[in-house]
A and B are shown apart, each in its own frame.
Chain A
Amino acid sequence: MSHDNLPVKDPDLGHSVPDPGLEPHVERYTDVDKGAGNRAYAAILMMLAAVPVLAIAFVVIYFAVPRDAYIDFGLLKANAQNVGFGLTGGLAAVLIGVAVIQWARVLMSDEESVELRHAASSTDDDRAAVMGLWDDGVEQSSVRRRKLLLGALGGAVGISLVPAVVLLADMGPHPTARLREETLERTIWAEGILLLNDENWLPIRPEMLEVGQLVNAQPANLRDLHGVEAHQAKAKAAIIVVRMDPNSIKVPESRKDWHVSGILAYSKICTHVGCPISLWERQTHHLLCPCHQSTFDLGNSGVVVFGPAARALPQLPITVNADGYLVAQSDFTVPVGPSYFERDSSQDFKDGDQ
């Protein structure tokens, strides 16, 4: 074989000690001791012989063990079939693997071989030849003489990508200003919509809430929606309703009519990436998002006190209706959930605003 296309010309470069060459091959115990060799052989056969037994056991488990049988290990309860399949199938595969590797390790000859490498590059010959062929092809194509051909072809193919990309324009509705107004910028909350406790779907009376208590709530009109619309509506409309001691919270001038004697409603959707927020600390009035721990101060208009969220939680203005139930005064005054590019959220409520 050609030895002039080796990866490096000077494999000994920099050696301070000459390469001693491969170490001598040492025979294994199973090579020299006939008994040991035969024992290894027998062990491999035994492993392979166990596989059919396990395979049959697997099939028996499939048909004989009821689907809902459980193995009870005290704390751990596991589906009997699943454990049976795992043990029989897993062991069978492991045994095949171990047997074959053992065969390779102790019964196949373990003398190492040496193979020469080639440089990754082609030979100079090949390089020259391919450039020649290329030039012949270019010559034959006549692009040298008719120079516009290539540019025209490139332009034509390039432009035809446009229709291909345009084909994707129907992947989703286009969030133009009008659509944003109907989607991102509004929820199904509106004047007079009842707040329903989302455990029992009953309306909430102020006197049902003690100071420090928090309930999750949904708008009553959510129940008119189904399927995807319900999900989309719920993903924005979910709120939390808390009652705090009115003397222990800061209510800015602009929001003084938004609460009902210390009962305030906030969006449950985190302004960071939109997780529903759930962890309430009644002493500090802090609400912690379980996803990335943004912390909002519900005693101070929902401003961020810690964490990656950049916007205060939107507050829902509420009041009581004629029957004495909590209802919304309107929709949220700012969009809920994470900010988005097209809207400047810098005017949203910030700590210290009135």
Chain B
Amino acid sequence: MMANPTRIASTSPVLEGQPAPSANREMPGAVKWADDRIGLAKIGRAGLRKVFPDHWSFLLGEIALYSFIVLLLTGVFLTIWFKPSMAEIEYDGSYQLLKGMPVSEAFASTLNISFDVRGGLLVRQIHHWAALLFVAAATVHMLRVFFTGAFRKPREVNWLIGVGLLSLSLIAGFAGYSLPDDLLSGTGLRFVDGLIRSIPIIGTWAEFFVFGGEYPGDILIPRLYMVHILLVPGILLGLISAHLALVVYHKHTQYPGPGRTENNVVGYPLFPVYAAKAGGFFFIVFGFLVLMGGLFQINPVWIYGPYDPAKVTAGSQPDWYMGWVEGAIRIIPALETHILGTTWTWSVFLPGVGLMGVLFTGLGLWPFIEQWITGDKREHHLLDRPRNAPTRTALGVAGMTSYAMFWLAGGNDIIATRFALDLNAITVFMRVAVFVAPVIAFIITKRLMLSLQRADRERALHGSEDGVIVRSPDGGYSEGHLPLSHEEQFLLTQHLQHRVLEPGAETDASGVRRKKGGVSKLRARLSRWYLGHDIAKPSAAELAAAAHQGSHSAHAVEDGHGAAGVDGAGINGIEGPRHGADAGHGPERAGLHH
């Protein structure tokens, strides 16, 4: 017998995190002891069977979380031996090639961890791989959140926390990369020195304050150590806790599908299923990182050698997550202005400090910008399929393309030598590509998303092709269509389509009178650009007509409305629950809400 699932929402008895107890059980002694003091049962009752939806893309954030835990564990191990000091000593460890060389204590202790502490190399390498994975997982996780619209109300705050986490993780990684005081990390610091110095007005002061005087000084590594093991991890820990607390409070978003609504969450209970899956997944990430640390060498600082301010290796590269900044710094043309006896070094400040500022500010503002353009004030717990937000998806792909171009530019020397190309030509090409490639990517992606929308519309109206080609008496060929399952038809049509904002509208989208002014021209134009090209999804009436027609002839007729915009037919920027009213829908919408 198939078990019947729990039916949806208001008509069914639903679990609300507080299911009726299945039996009258006494608490075991130890738990009772704890409950007497800290009220465990209340928390357990609310949380033990909390429902989490399941999807592979929800694992990305988990990977980031688990890599962070691995970073904490391995980092603490490293601190047992690492000496954050730039004092010069003679290297006297077991790595023969550097014996007797003057090196800093930081460098010597890193070699000590790598060669003389059993398991030290493993832990160092796990730590570095985990750092790379941490930033990578956080980045891909953010992309998932972006493309599915999971940042929309009520999750804007969590998006902001996420942007903070991502920027801090870059700082954490960069500070860590600098600690071993090898030739590569010194080159990175030299770059930071130049970057700080380029800040207008306060640059020189900031440089002297950060480095404790002139570069390189002897205090930077102890300071970075504090930043790396206390300040940044402390803030990260706090932000990660807040991030997770908000996930619990909002409950996880879910992908649309039969029975999934804005008001429910369908999935597996925390205890035992989700806990087992998440806990098991931690061990897999951990194990994978241990294997990486054991089998794949990373950051062999003894090969780079100790830092020497007069040396640099050709082809030196930062860790992957700094590559895009590196690229921007490489391709910017020389640019310095001189005002009243001062020098403003734009060609370092703009690509370095400026670009990072633009990226993180842009990311932070995005949810609010989108809300302003669409006028959407509703809570969203069902995720968007990326095709149903074509402009957002196209913007995201354009952003990724721009990032990729900068990142490639960060390897222009490697590209030049690998492919025997002219370095300067690549640089000039990249100067153009970082602007042009995203535009092309935007146009292609938007087209692609719109044709996916069109295909969805066709499929919802006419069903799937049955694979049987029929030749008609007058010589034409056509293919029959099979009706879709109710579930699929629902999936293809469940999404909300927002109506383009009209300039000067006196009432907001749900017909409530505005307190102040209407929609400005600019906002209306943006809204048209953002929403105006959507392919209208089929209305109930159109579906009914198509079904009717389909029952007369198996061969569907081309649908004439395929390319129509949603103006007038779309759902407006619907207000949240408190304002409840949902007047003002296009005529086709009438009667849709049973």
- Residue ranges of A at the interface with B (Cβ–Cβ < 8 Å): 1, 3, 6-27, 62, 67-68, 78-79, 81-87, 89-105, 108-117, 119-121, 124, 168, 171-175, 180, 183-184, 198, 216, 218, 226-228, 231-232, 234-235, 238, 268, 272-276, 278-279, 288, 290-295, 304, 306-311, 337-346
- The distance in angstroms between the C-alpha atoms of A342 and B495, with both chains bound, is 58
- The distance in angstroms between the C-alpha atoms of A119 and B378, with both chains bound, is 10
> A20 and B486: CB pair below 8 A?
yes
> A93 and B329: CB pair below 8 A?
no
- With beta carbons under 8 angstroms apart, the residue of B49, B50, B338, B348 that contacts A344 is B338
Question: Smallest CB–CB gap between A336 and chain B, Å?
Answer: 12
Q: Using Cβ atoms and an 8 Å threshold, which residues of chain A touch B313?
A: 290
Interface flags for B205-227 (1: CB within 8 Å of A; 0: not) read 10111111111111000000000
> A15 and B493: CB pair below 8 A?
yes
Q: Using Cβ atoms and an 8 Å threshold, which residues of chain B touch A274?
A: 190-191, 193-194, 215
Q: Does B86 contact A (CB under 8 A)?
A: yes
> B16 and A116: CB pair below 8 A?
yes
Identify the closest chain A residue to B295 (Cβ).
A86
Question: Smallest CB–CB gap between B282 and chain A, Å?
Answer: 7
> A67 and B118: CB pair below 8 A?
yes
Identify the closest chain A residue to B126 (Cβ).
A86
- The distance in angstroms between the C-alpha atoms of A291 and B325, with both chains bound, is 12
Q: Using Cβ atoms and an 8 Å threshold, which residues of chain B touch A295?
A: 424
Interface flags for B309-336 (1: CB within 8 Å of A; 0: not) read 1111111100000000010011111111
> A340 and B197: CB pair below 8 A?
yes
- With beta carbons under 8 angstroms apart, the residue of A16, A23, A87, A227 that contacts B540 is A16
- The distance in angstroms between the C-alpha atoms of A7 and B351, with both chains bound, is 43
List, sorted by A's number, 30 A–B pairs whose CB atoms are closer than 8 Å: A8-B263, A9-B582, A16-B493, A20-B490, A21-B258, A22-B8, A24-B4, A25-B5, A82-B122, A86-B292, A89-B287, A93-B290, A100-B283, A103-B276, A104-B276, A111-B5, A114-B14, A115-B264, A119-B154, A120-B249, A120-B250, A175-B204, A175-B205, A198-B310, A274-B190, A290-B314, A292-B329, A293-B423, A308-B347, A308-B348
> B267 and A310: CB pair below 8 A?
no
> A91 and B291: CB pair below 8 A?
yes
- With beta carbons under 8 angstroms apart, the residue of B202, B264, B336 that contacts A117 is B264
- The distance in angstroms between the C-alpha atoms of A17 and B198, with both chains bound, is 59
Question: Smallest CB–CB gap between A229 and chain B, Å?
Answer: 9
Identify the closest chain B residue to A344 (Cβ).
B341
Identify the closest chain B residue to A6 (Cβ).
B263
Which stretch (B390-398, B436-444, B525-533, B570-578) binds chain A?
B570-578
In the complex, given contacts A114-B9, A275-B312, A338-B348, what are 11 additional A-B residue pairs having Cβ atoms less than 8 angstroms apart? A6-B263, A7-B381, A24-B4, A67-B115, A86-B293, A93-B286, A113-B6, A117-B251, A183-B213, A232-B217, A345-B338
- The distance in angstroms between the C-alpha atoms of A216 and B309, with both chains bound, is 13
> A172 and B213: CB pair below 8 A?
yes
> A21 and B347: CB pair below 8 A?
no
- With beta carbons under 8 angstroms apart, the residue of B18, B264, B294, B496 that contacts A83 is B294
Identify the closest chain A residue to B267 (Cβ).
A112
Q: Using Cβ atoms and an 8 Å threshold, which residues of chain B touch A290?
A: 312-316, 413
Q: Using Cβ atoms and an 8 Å threshold, which residues of chain A touch B329?
A: 273, 292, 308
Question: Smallest CB–CB gap between A218 and chain B, Å?
Answer: 7
Q: Using Cβ atoms and an 8 Å threshold, which residues of chain B touch A103?
A: 276, 280
Question: Smallest CB–CB gap between B535 and chain A, Å?
Answer: 14
Q: Using Cβ atoms and an 8 Å threshold, which residues of chain A touch B277?
A: 100-101, 104-105
Q: Using Cβ atoms and an 8 Å threshold, which residues of chain B touch A276?
A: 309-312
Question: Smallest CB–CB gap between A179 and chain B, Å?
Answer: 8
- With beta carbons under 8 angstroms apart, the residue of B3, B316, B343, B379 that contacts A111 is B3
> B209 and A339: CB pair below 8 A?
no
Pairs of residues from A and B, 7 with the lowest C-beta to C-beta distance, nearest first? A86-B294, A273-B194, A93-B287, A97-B283, A22-B259, A94-B287, A100-B280
Q: Does B37 contact A (CB under 8 A)?
A: no
- With beta carbons under 8 angstroms apart, the residue of A3, A117, A273, A275 that contacts B381 is A117
Question: Smallest CB–CB gap between B245 and chain A, Å?
Answer: 13
- The distance in angstroms between the C-alpha atoms of A173 and B212, with both chains bound, is 7
Of the listed residues A12, A14, A92, the one surrounded by the most CB atoms of chain B closer than 10 A to its CB is: A14
> B290 and A89: CB pair below 8 A?
yes
Q: Does B80 contact A (CB under 8 A)?
A: no
Q: Using Cβ atoms and an 8 Å threshold, which residues of chain A touch B290?
A: 85-86, 89-90, 93
- With beta carbons under 8 angstroms apart, the residue of A172, A288, A306, A343 that contacts B212 is A172
> A341 and B286: CB pair below 8 A?
no
Question: Smallest CB–CB gap between A280 and chain B, Å?
Answer: 11
> A227 and B218: CB pair below 8 A?
yes
- The distance in angstroms between the C-alpha atoms of A290 and B330, with both chains bound, is 10
Q: Using Cβ atoms and an 8 Å threshold, which residues of chain B touch A173?
A: 208, 212-213
Identify the closest chain A residue to B311 (Cβ).
A276
Q: Does B366 contact A (CB under 8 A)?
A: no
Interface flags for B265-308 (1: CB within 8 Å of A; 0: not) read 11111001100110111111111111111110100000000001
Identify the closest chain A residue to B314 (Cβ).
A290
Question: Smallest CB–CB gap between A168 and chain B, Å?
Answer: 8
Q: Does B358 contact A (CB under 8 A)?
A: no
Q: Does B515 contact A (CB under 8 A)?
A: no
- With beta carbons under 8 angstroms apart, the residue of A10, A92, A232, A342 that contacts B215 is A232
Q: Using Cβ atoms and an 8 Å threshold, which residues of chain B touch A109?
A: 273
- The distance in angstroms between the C-alpha atoms of A309 and B104, with both chains bound, is 31
Q: Using Cβ atoms and an 8 Å threshold, which residues of chain B touch A232?
A: 213-217
Question: Smallest CB–CB gap between A174 and chain B, Å?
Answer: 7
Task: Given A81-B118, A93-B283, A104-B280, answer yes or no on A171-B310 (Cβ-Cβ < 8 Å).
Answer: no
Task: Given A86-B122, A111-B3, A114-B8, answer yes or no on A172-B208 (Cβ-Cβ < 8 Å).
Answer: yes
Question: Smallest CB–CB gap between A62 and chain B, Å?
Answer: 6
- With beta carbons under 8 angstroms apart, the residue of A292, A293, A306, A338 that contacts B197 is A338
> A304 and B291: CB pair below 8 A?
no
Question: Smallest CB–CB gap between A261 and chain B, Å?
Answer: 26
> A85 and B122: CB pair below 8 A?
yes
Q: Using Cβ atoms and an 8 Å threshold, which residues of chain A touch B344?
A: 341
Q: Does B593 contact A (CB under 8 A)?
A: yes
Question: Smallest CB–CB gap between A307 and chain B, Å?
Answer: 7
Question: Smallest CB–CB gap between B330 and chain A, Å?
Answer: 4
Q: Does B201 contact A (CB under 8 A)?
A: yes
Question: Smallest CB–CB gap between B97 and chain A, Å?
Answer: 13
> A25 and B343: CB pair below 8 A?
no
- The distance in angstroms between the C-alpha atoms of A287 and B275, with both chains bound, is 59
> B273 and A304: CB pair below 8 A?
no
Q: Using Cβ atoms and an 8 Å threshold, which residues of chain B touch A101?
A: 276-277, 280-281, 284
Interface flags for B185-196 (1: CB within 8 Å of A; 0: not) read 001001101110
> A292 and B330: CB pair below 8 A?
yes
- The distance in angstroms between the C-alpha atoms of A184 and B213, with both chains bound, is 10
Question: Smallest CB–CB gap between B425 and chain A, Å?
Answer: 11
Question: Smallest CB–CB gap between B331 and chain A, Å?
Answer: 8
- The distance in angstroms between the C-alpha atoms of A165 and B144, with both chains bound, is 40
Question: Smallest CB–CB gap between A169 and chain B, Å?
Answer: 9
Q: Using Cβ atoms and an 8 Å threshold, which residues of chain B touch A273?
A: 190-191, 193-195, 197-198, 329, 348
